[in-house]
Structure 1
């Protein structure tokens, strides 16, 4: 029997807060071979506020230490009572395979976010080209679902590349949207034919010859691209070669720069360095650590034995968000924290460096 308390108006609810609530699995759907969509709601009846195309980080209890994995949201904020990720289990994947084998309806899991700036909301345009390969279709699907709900007349060319026809994720829904959205043009490109179904569409890989066939006016469009790094590199190189205005090109990538080594706790022999160090008090852990100039709060925490969850470690995912109780930092992030959170005193530990001694709620 449905719980009557679930039927509440949006203005009677508050937005989901990743610091206070966890997610509950309410749906699991097979989308394609080795691809599933997991749909969640808040365990405290809150609603989800995010931009289409953003991502969140799931904390997966795989071993002794939780495994942090970042997944793009495939759902749309125009339907704010639930949130979904569509994930593909690659060969050798650990986190996604754990989700496939362990998450059931009613399971609870901790998550951080949403975060990221890969969204058409940040680049308004008259025409869009959403170009993806494999599971890189997920942010494009989030944006297209939002457009279908809120601006179905938008001029969008949606191109997805897959190895075989049966591996095209969301294919049936896309074909339905193609008949419902007057401005939507669909294009599929596969690498090889399949024995499971006939294929009469384009075959091959995206290049300067096939691009005009799939999107004749691609030079006039705002381009969003997501997929494996080699795919995105090929698309970017092809567009640059044909003289495309790269200010109209945007891609989603979770590739991180090299992580600096964490300096070990200081010894008495390190007097020159330690004389320049500043103290960091981690109040919840009751630990006082030292931080050298140039070190981040996250590095100081690790050196002091304090655990702060972190995934990307370059200011994008927002997983390492902690509250600053006193002191000042220099924070150079990549969109993983909101302005209002900074106003409230939150920082990203991975990209915050001390300007004064600090107190952190961690």
Structure 2
């Protein structure tokens, strides 16, 4: 464990905290967005914000693939099970994301059992589990509910190629893979959102796992075009603190470039083999709906026509229908960084990890779930 422990060393953390206080100028505020939910979780879990001066503020971004999944996509999956009678395979977190009519995949599964309907919903640990299920049950149509950013897209591409090589006619994928740069562009191009407010941003902490695939090159556009520094950082607390210090130094010196704190895993060009695999199996969608961000052009992937036999949307002719979020839920504002979780009036009361009303309370990488687990007691202590 020593390779992890050295990035959690308390003495080094105190030294970094002192350096941040020294470099952060007292005549200005700093607002940095950690895009990735993994960073949000680490910041909350290790109390990183408690080590920062008050004028250095971290803003939670939309970088949790479960959080940005819109209600309509969950509804599509449920319709596939109910109307087409498929066996839907999903990762654990999407099972709990709220859908229409008070449902979720988990609740829909329970209702199927009571009604004795032919379809089924199963939790899997990987897409390979879904492929194995299709092989063992040739009489069943098995659909893998594929979600995630660039990190999880290559494994889905492998699954589709394997299914074609095996000649599996009963396996397909409901593709909901989305792209990180498009979300960053949306936030930068619309910093003022009328119904929510203004998002002040001085720089970004770029995602770690995503960047191992796509590299640091795609972020250079944001630094050059929008004059916002980007630092790619690992998920350990010292990674995050070092990235904050690097961002402060860039802002102070008037620079806006991409720096790579996570050089032990990320390169400028990323994983070319994984990129080629994704390009072979997927192509850009013209538009895709994100929870909290709306319809974003060229922000997601779909399966190419060459692999259409394994595209659940084509095979079962199921379409997307937009559905509004719960009126009391502030997930949209939280995903854009306009509001903090504790500013939602149902946070921690009606909406909890055991009973999520919004998607940000589902995954441990969601801003609301992270703050509920690690930050809400600080709110109580600070209350007048």
Larger Rg: 1
Kindly indicate which of the two structures has a greater share of residues assigned to strand.
Answer: 1
Pick 1 or 2: higher relative contact order, CA cutoff 8 A, min separation 6.
2
